[in-house]
């Protein structure tokens, strides 16, 4: 009965949605699931008031801090039930969960699961650094370093310089530094500029199940408000965790519906993530966070018109970072936003998914899965190639064939790509501008074939005019494979066939490209990417110092000196 009751405890605290079935069924399933949580702690912590030590944490799956008090309560309550011979029913479990701490005094029955908006607001308001597990902490460091590198290099792009020039004309100098820039500005402008730079190179990270780039919104917001608040490193990292979680879960719940309606998830959803980052750094309660979401929803924007050319895509994360911060600050002053704004009628989900589906009962934290951690940041990817992520599996497959078979570019007569539907749309995108070239299957694979790599400069003005690359574009043919499409967005599958002048044909397949959570970029390659981006801007010595500081952020008493070190 202890195991069954513990399963119900998990339901009540919203930690494991599957535990409701465990509580109802009991038996071997209850024993298997619940014993993982308590096998190593029941003997020592049965009815004590002590928290587990660090060694004990490594023996069991991570629990929220609030869980331990409830766990002790459930253990004590269920000792008297151990002689019962039948599994606890849902009704019995409800009554057990509703018992109070003192003498079994009855209190109100456990509330049903919160809707997505309130669930995310509570998560943001209660998250602390101590909740973050080792897998998520490692990825936090990786993604923070990666995004800072991208922001530093992206600040040198023409669109970033134009944006900075406009703000310089309109705003007075401020106190907040911007990565890679010498002029300081206000927090909103700093987040806008860093967000624009962070998406300017198509090298920023992402979350596959939601087709969203969290880092280019979350990190700029954290740097701007982190400097304003002078937060310590633990709160800074908790804020980043919250931002990734909010962005990833909302996007995964809806994808691919907004994509087919022409919306860009990164900006449309990123505004909620920036609000979450601000709320953690400022210490806002869940009521303020929900109001911030209610305000942020009206700033959700960004359409995919960029596939036709132009540079508007670059500015999307900057707008999201700026407007999300503003929404949170307004909410803290008492400005009211719509409640339950994600799932309410005429709310965000209905507007961007284009459906009347009832989202009020959705388990927002299950959206996108939890492969490596309960925190989404642990399941995000880092890009090794400077182009759209949908192209990466085919690039990896092609590069592997070229290397394994020792093929020269001139040997190849055709490259046939079979992939999922969303990726296949990139087979028709041209390369008249850098933005489109970085999303074009023909051009990206032609560059990979000619250079045996895909680097940023391959997409600049000179790269797009390179006749040695252009001669290969017509060799690339892209089609939709129904079986592969059925596996997206759980995977990002591709199959390619390379034909040669000699008549030989070589096939390759990739389910997850390099940089994915299941196929991670090695630390050495991450450092190499960071230095390639950061060294030309702040110098190799300062860049190495930034890398060291990122790995020690949780020991930092004030993040302002760290953020100051990113300015040019």
Residues 320-379 pLDDT 10s: 999 999 999 999 999 999 999 999 999 999 999 998 899 999 999 999 999 999 999 999
| Residue 58 pLDDT exceeds 90 | no
What percentage of the chain reaches a pLDDT higher than 90?
79
Q: Which two tokens stand for residue 16?
A: 């494991």
Confidence band for 309, pLDDT divided at 50, 70 and 90: confident
Confidence band for 113, pLDDT divided at 50, 70 and 90: confident
pLDDT tens figures, 188-211: 999 999 999 999 999 999 999 999
Instruction: Give strand pairing partners of 381.
Output: 206
Residue 112: the pLDDT is 76
CA 52/CA 71 separation, integer angstroms: 12
pLDDT tens figures, 80-91: 343 333 343 333
pLDDT tens figures, 396-440: 999 999 999 999 999 999 999 999 999 999 999 999 999 999 999
Residue 111: the pLDDT is 59
pLDDT tens figures, 206-255: 999 999 999 999 999 999 999 999 999 999 999 999 999 999 999 999 99
CA 25/CA 368 separation, integer angstroms: 26
User: Which domains does the chain possess?
Assistant: 2-111 (no CATH), 119-381+551-556 (1.10.4100.10), 389-510 (3.30.1330.120)
Residue 23: the pLDDT is 38
CA 413/CA 159 separation, integer angstroms: 37
SS (H, E, C) 328-382: HHHHHCCCCCCCCCCCCCCCHHHHHHCCCCCCCCCCHHHCCCCCCCCCHHHHCEC
CB atoms within 10 A of CB 403: 10
Locus of tokens 């499409």: 485
- Of the listed ranges 14-28, 131-145, 277-291, the one predicted with least confidence: 14-28
Beta carbons of 463 and 489 less than 8 angstroms apart: no
Please, what is the Cα angle at 112 between 107 and 117, to 5 degrees? 125
Residue 42: the pLDDT is 37
| Residue 547 pLDDT exceeds 80 | yes
- Reference 275, options 254, 251, 299; nearest CA is 299
Please, what is the Cα angle at 302 between 157 and 438, to 5 degrees? 45
Residue 63: the pLDDT is 46
Q: Which two tokens stand for residue 1?
A: 């009965």
Q: Is 482 exposed, middle or buried (0-12, 13-18, 19+ CB in 10 A)?
A: exposed
Strand 494-500 and strand 412-419: pairing? antiparallel
Residue 248: the pLDDT is 98
Strand 494-500 and strand 476-480: pairing? unpaired
Mean predicted confidence (pLDDT) in 6-29: 39
Beta carbons of 560 and 202 less than 8 angstroms apart: no
Mean predicted confidence (pLDDT) in 14-38: 40
Locus of tokens 């959570």: 517
Strand order in the sheet with 412-419: 476-480, 412-419, 494-500, 505-510
| Residue 16 pLDDT exceeds 50 | no
| Residue 77 pLDDT exceeds 50 | no
Locus of tokens 């940041």: 377
Mean predicted confidence (pLDDT) in 484-506: 97
pLDDT tens figures, 381-396: 999 999 999 999 999 9
């Amino acid at each position: 009965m202890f195991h069954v009751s513990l399963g119900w405890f998990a339901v009540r605290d919203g930690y494991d949605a599957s535990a409701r079935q465990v509580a109802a069924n009991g038996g071997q399933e209850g024993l298997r699931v619940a014993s993982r949580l308590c096998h190593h702690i029941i003997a020592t912590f049965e009815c004590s008031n002590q928290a587990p030590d660090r060694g004990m944490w490594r023996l069991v799956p991570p629990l929220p801090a609030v869980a331990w008090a409830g766990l002790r309560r459930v253990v004590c309550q269920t000792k008297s039930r151990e002689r019962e011979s039948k599994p606890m029913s849902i009704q019995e479990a409800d009554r057990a969960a509703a018992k109070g701490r003192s003498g079994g005094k009855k209190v109100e029955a456990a509330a049903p699961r919160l809707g997505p908006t309130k669930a995310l607001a509570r998560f943001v308001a209660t998250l602390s650094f101590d909740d973050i597990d080792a897998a998520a902490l490692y990825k936090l460091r990786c993604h923070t370093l990666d995004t800072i590198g991208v922001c530093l290099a992206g600040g040198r792009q023409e669109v970033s310089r134009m944006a900075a020039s406009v703000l310089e004309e309109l705003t007075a100098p401020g106190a907040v530094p911007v990565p890679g820039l010498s002029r300081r500005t206000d927090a909103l402008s700093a987040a806008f500029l860093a967000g624009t730079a962070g998406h300017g190179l198509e090298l920023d990270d992402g979350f596959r199940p939601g087709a969203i780039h969290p880092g280019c919104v979350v990190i700029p917001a954290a740097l701007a408000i982190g400097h304003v608040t002078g937060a310590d490193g633990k709160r800074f990292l908790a804020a980043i965790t919250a931002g990734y979680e909010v962005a990833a879960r909302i996007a995964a719940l809806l994808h691919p519906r907004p994509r087919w309606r022409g919306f860009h998830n990164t900006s449309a959803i990123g505004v909620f993530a920036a609000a979450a980052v601000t709320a953690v750094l400022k210490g806002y309660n869940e009521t303020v966070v929900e109001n911030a979401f209610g305000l942020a929803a009206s700033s959700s924007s960004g359409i995919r018109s960029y596939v036709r050319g132009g540079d508007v895509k670059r500015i999307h994360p900057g707008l999201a970072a700026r407007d999300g911060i503003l929404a949170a600050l307004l909410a803290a002053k008492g400005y009211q936003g719509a409640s339950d704004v994600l799932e309410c009628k005429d709310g965000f989900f209905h507007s961007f998914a284009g459906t009347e589906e009832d989202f009020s009962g959705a388990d927002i934290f299950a959206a996108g899965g939890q492969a490596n951690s309960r925190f989404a940041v642990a399941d995000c990817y880092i890009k090794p190639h400077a182009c759209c992520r949908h192209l990466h599996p085919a690039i990896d497959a092609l590069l592997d064939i070229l290397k394994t078979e020792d093929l020269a570019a001139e040997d190849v007569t055709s490259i046939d790509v079979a992939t999922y539907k969303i990726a296949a749309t990139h087979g028709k995108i041209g390369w008249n501008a850098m933005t489109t070239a970085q999303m074009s299957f023909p051009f990206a694979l032609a560059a990979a074939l000619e250079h045996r790599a895909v680097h940023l400069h391959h997409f600049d003005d000179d790269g797009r005019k390179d006749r040695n690359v252009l001669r290969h574009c017509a060799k690339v043919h892209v089609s939709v494979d129904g079986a592969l499409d059925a596996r997206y967005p759980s995977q990002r599958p591709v199959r390619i066939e390379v034909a040669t002048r000699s008549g030989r044909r070589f096939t390759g397949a990739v389910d997850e490209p390099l940089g994915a959570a299941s196929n991670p970029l090695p630390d050495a390659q991450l450092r190499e990417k960071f230095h390639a981006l950061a060294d030309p801007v702040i110098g190799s010595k300062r860049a190495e110092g930034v890398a060291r500081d990122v790995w020690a952020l949780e020991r930092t008493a004030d993040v302002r000196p760290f953020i100051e070190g990113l300015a040019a």
